[in-house]
Amino acid sequence: MSDIYQHFRKDEEPFIDQALEWKRIVAEQYRMKLTDFLDPREQVILQSVIGQSDEVRLEFFGGFPEAERKRALLFPEYAEPSAEDFQLQGWEVIYPQKFASIEHRELLGSLMGIGLRRQKFGDLIFSDGTWQFICSEEVADFVFTQLTQIGKVKVSLEKIPLSKLKVPEQDVEIRDDTVSSLRLDAICSAMSRQSRQKAQVLVKNGLVKVNWKVIEDPSYALAEGDMVSIRGFGRFRMKNIDGKTKKGKWRLTFEKQK
């Protein structure tokens, strides 16, 4: 099993170990295992680790089909999980919309400020002036009592069923491209439609995040599922890496969120 690590980055090994432990628990104890919210790259890794196992099955759900962050449910092959097994709670933020505004970073910062990890929260949804978000059911009561202010705005929370989430239509541009390598600077060049030299400057100046972490190494290798944020150019997701062309370039598909 140790050769599985060669397919992933060194910094991903702790998550692989965790995924293997989840798989072992389900296989040996014949019970479901529910994870915290996983980002798209973690979902790809978990899918790879579980593979086509006959003993352990895998499903993801984040409250709505297009969710970016999702909880994973590992379960024995005979089990039939339902949406309730993912233990999600939807919230709507109540605040005086006519007199105040709330930014994404302010909502996320306030959620982190109450002492919970990002993994306890799913997507933050904004539509028609209304903010909604999803959290793990096990922390719902704590969130309700602790989140009373976002930035300078006094707020309260209202529980809502997942069916009441106001998910806006996603405006995503899908691009196919070829790059000389899977290095961060090469792919940032394709994503931002700039020269590789200019992309390197962005990376070295700390203006590029991969999976929400600043990466300043231009040689950092990207993989399927990675979320890339380039300041001034937007957010992108590595959707597929489709092998090499006859000339040795990598074929890839990525999504740009508009």
Q: Are residues 115 and 130 in the same domain?
A: yes
Q: Can you give the pLDDT at residue 129?
A: 87
- Among 82, 100, 128, where does a domain finish? 82
Please report, for the domain that includes residue 77, its CATH number.
3.30.1370.160
- Among 35, 60, 82, where does a domain finish? 82
**Residue 82, CA distances (Å) to 34, 49, 71, 212 in order:** 12, 23, 13, 30
Q: Can you give the pLDDT at residue 5?
A: 84
**pTM (two decimals):** 0.82
Q: Are residues 123 and 190 in the same domain?
A: no
Backbone angle region of 115, left / alpha / beta, with phi > 0 → left and psi within -120 to 50 → alpha = left
Q: Can you give the pLDDT at residue 222?
A: 93
Beta bridge partners of 252: 177, 241
Domain that holds residue 129: 88-164
Beta bridge partners of 172: 257
Q: Which two tokens stand for residue 102?
A: 């709330």
Helices (H) then strands (E): counts for the chain: 6, 15
Please report, for the domain that includes residue 151, its CATH number.
3.30.70.330
Q: Are residues 109 and 184 in the same domain?
A: no
Q: How many domains does the chain have?
A: 3
Q: Can you give the pLDDT at residue 2?
A: 57
To the nearest 10°, the Cα dihedral for 242, 60, 184, 241? 0
Q: Are residues 178 and 253 in the same domain?
A: yes
Residue-wise pLDDT tens for the chain (258 aa)? 557 888 788 889 999 999 999 999 999 999 999 999 999 999 999 999 987 777 899 999 999 988 999 999 999 988 999 999 999 999 999 999 889 999 999 999 999 999 999 999 999 999 888 999 999 999 999 999 999 999 999 999 999 999 999 988 777 889 999 999 999 999 999 999 999 999 999 999 999 999 888 999 999 999 998 999 999 999 899 999 999 999 999 999 999 976
Please report, for the domain that includes residue 186, its CATH number.
3.10.290.10
